[in-house]
A and B are shown apart, each in its own frame.
Chain A
Amino acid sequence: MSEFLQQLLNGLSLGAIYALIALGYTMVYGVLRFINFAHSDVFMVGAFIGYYMGKLVPEGTLWGGLAVLGVAMIGCALLGMTIERLAYRRLRSAPTLNVLITAIGVSLLLEYTGQVFFGAAPRNFPAIFPVRNFQIGGVIIGSNQLIVIAVSVVLMIVLQLIVYRTRIGTAMRAVSLNPKAAVLMGVNNDVVISFTFGLGSALAAAGGILYALNYPSIDPLMGVMPGLKAFVAAILGGIGNIPGAALGGLILGTVETFVSGSQWSTYKDAIAFAILIIILLFRPAGLLGRFTVEKV
């Protein structure tokens, strides 16, 4: 029993990170109908900003950790908005495929520029938050796991409030529903799309820092696998759907952890992706997504 609970906790803290990255994919898709493949590399940049900032604050303090988290989120929000402004905005009326290829290009650009600036060798991420272990009935809860879950939950609530309770959130939903009609109603699409990229990238930065806290070896290609998993999580939950992305991330993280802990650990990715295929066979729009027929 305690093994089951321990694995569940391990899975949830991994899944929470996937969920944070998945939210960025799903928000951009919701507004622009394209997959921003550079998102996983913004995640990597977030971790590296955290690495350099972590050297400026004292190790193992709560305020220091939160300051690093804040700076990384702001830095990546600016990066995300810059990418959108320079690479994607001019292509907005072009076919989706062109934007998709551009996104892959931006992704490779970030990865290999990262290798030039940061070097390809893995670096050791500093312990920016205080580290302590708690034991409850045979289950060991690390403070990093608690921080991951707490930060993710807080950020998801904030995101939900922004999307449903603010003017900019209403505008985001309007653009997502029908960009042309939104313009006619006086919404400035450029501002809304820029804001969406900023918000999604800030979440990716938070994901990057939390990931690096738990697995403290970071390198410029660190975003590739978690990015792919988060992308799958976004589809699993129903792409374009915010609670869906969170749910997809948690499911994927938990399944992966349980498979890793069993004797079939080598097949963990195969099993996780097989589950994706099965869910999509029965629910083509994902768990929480709504299936809409394309109007011609």
Chain B
Amino acid sequence: MIKALRSLFLPALMAAVFTGARAQDTVKIGEFASLTGKEAAFGQSSHKGTLLAVEELNATGGILGRQVELITEDNQSKQGESATIVKKLISRDKIIALLGEVASGRSLEAAPIAQNYKIPMISPSSTNPRVTEMGSYIFRVCFIDPFQGTAMAKFAKDSLHLKKVALLTSVSSPYSVGLAKYFKETFAAIGGEITIEQKYSEGDKDFKAQLTAIKAAGVDGIFVPGYYTEAALISKQARELELNFPIFGGDGWEAPQLIEIGGKAMEGTYYSTHYSPENSSPAVQNFVKKFRARFAGETPDAMAALGYDSAMVLADAIKRAGTTDGPKLRAALAATRNYDGVTGRTTIDPHRNATKAAVVITVKDGQFKFVESIAP
């Protein structure tokens, strides 16, 4: 409540008091993230990656001779909150570009606003295709769900040798619905069978009913294209019902909380994601080292790596454009070719998406382990 009131009145007040103060002395980059709430693990990781990138840029002289100022706002993982804070970032803080979000649903909320004000927006890790379809100013530095869904369908068929799979989709999340759709199309096309489809809504905690129905259908795996809190609870309840076959999902699973909440139930689960800290390439190892030094020995996950890459791709585009002017910066971003980042080589395609390889991770003895890499 108080937050809503504050965001209504303060900007107007501030604008009245501080108009014209401190013009263009820093490059202001806005970030909106789920720093608290249900998907806080995503927001925190992504934010740490972005922060590391900005600190690095500033340590080496900033961009265009100016220091970079990162202004971060929290949407509490809530629907509706992103629109408010993005409007605030654009109208009050006068940001020149916007970074965010992990969850596709919340990126979709912010995208029309950024497009409207001609502020280039880069989503670090929203994988739903609709995000960049919102307009010509919306970009992303990760792969999209049609590829991720296809990759997991092939992985289920070829590597896990599954024939009959159940789908358990979150109907209130565009990410989950999209990923389920692409998985289903490919899995059916390569000779697999989707035996049963069950649904739930974000925030549900009881999945026993759906899982009992899945058990009765007699499948040999469950695809759960949701986020980590639900994925962990689903796996836990599935194991309680003695469903001991592979449960697998997408990059929404990538968070330490997956193992914290799920515990032993996560053994033998798989998910696809953007990068693995076990990758031996110098770019990845260098990033892991810097991240650990900055954040008390924490190992960066895919969201952190993409958060880092999103800021670096933006910085690269600003340097090439030579200005922070919206339309010119947009053109420079669209012209990004073969940018070498932590999560691989980024080329922005005509639909403003990045084409990259996916990585499959499993949980073994309470640890995330690299399984295989799937090329686009």
Contact = CB atoms under 8 A, between A and B. Distances in A.
B209 A3 contact: no
Interface stretch (B22-30, B233-241, B275-283, B353-361): B233-241
A152 interface: no
Interface residues of A, number: 35
B205 A215 contact: yes
A265 B212 CA distance: 13
Nearest to A127: B263
Contact of A121 (B36, B210, B232, B233): B36
Contact of A3 (B197, B198, B212): B212
B229 interface: yes
Give the interface centre of B199, B206, B229, B260 by most chain A CB atoms within 10 Å. Answer: B206
B40 A215 contact: no
Nearest to A13: B208
Interface string B230-257: 0011001000111000000000000001
Interface in A209-235: 214-217, 219, 225
B213 A261 contact: yes
B209 A7 contact: yes
B157 interface: no
A265 B40 CA distance: 27
A142 interface: yes
Given A119-B36, A133-B242, A140-B242, A258 B209 contact: yes
A10 B215 CA distance: 14
A146 interface: no
Contact of B200 (A14, A142, A263, A265): A265
B210 A265 contact: yes
A140 B240 contact: yes
B213 A10 contact: no
A263 B199 CA distance: 8
Contacts of B201: 266
B36 A260 contact: no
Contacts of B208: 10, 257
Interface in B188-210: 197-201, 203, 205-206, 208-210
B238 to A, nearest CB: 11
A219 B38 contact: yes
Interface in A84-143: 108, 112, 115, 119-122, 124, 133, 135, 140, 142
A10 B212 contact: yes
B261 interface: yes
A142 B208 CA distance: 11
A178 interface: no
A120 B38 CA distance: 7
B5 interface: no
Interface in B1-48: 1, 36-38, 40-41
A6 interface: yes
A292 interface: no
A120 B37 CA distance: 5
Interface of B: 1, 36-38, 40-41, 76-77, 171, 197-201, 203, 205-206, 208-210, 212-213, 215-216, 229, 232-233, 236, 240-242, 257, 260-261
6 contacts: A3-B212, A3-B215, A7-B213, A120-B36, A135-B242, A215-B206
Given A10-B208, A266-B199, 16 more contacts: A7-B212, A10-B206, A115-B36, A120-B37, A121-B41, A215-B206, A216-B236, A217-B232, A256-B209, A257-B206, A257-B209, A258-B209, A260-B209, A261-B209, A261-B212, A265-B198
